[in-house]
Amino acid sequence: MGPHASAECEAGITTTENGVSRSHIVDRTFIENGTRWVIDYKTTRYKGEDLEGFLKERAESYREQMVRYASLYQSAGQALKVAIYFVSEDRHYEFNF
């Protein structure tokens, strides 16, 4: 896999809503095959039997954050995929909004 278009790590974005500025740091974003990916890294470790259930539950606990990150890129008019990448497990969980 080669470099991705428009790739950024630790992308800093500032938004202003109702006169209040807010800073966002997106761990990783890039474009692949015309789709913008927005990814947040988590280092959660799991020791148990139901890895898929655990990852889904853990990822869903970050849904609000990921919706916020998605909103930063939705106006670009391209397909958007949002995911959490669990580094220790080498697995990702993709959100469906």
Q: What is the pLDDT along the chain (97 residues), one digit of tens a residue?
A: 457 878 999 999 999 999 999 999 999 999 999 999 999 999 988 878 898 999 999 999 999 999 999 999 987 678 999 999 999 999 999 999 8
User: What does pTM read for this prediction?
Assistant: 0.85
Q: What is the pLDDT of residue 13?
A: 94
Q: What is the pLDDT of residue 39?
A: 97
Three-state secondary-structure class, residue 67: helix
**What ranges make up the beta strands (E) of 1-97?**
5-17, 20-32, 35-42, 79-86, 91-95
The domains found in the chain, sorted by start residue, are 5-95 (3.90.320.10)
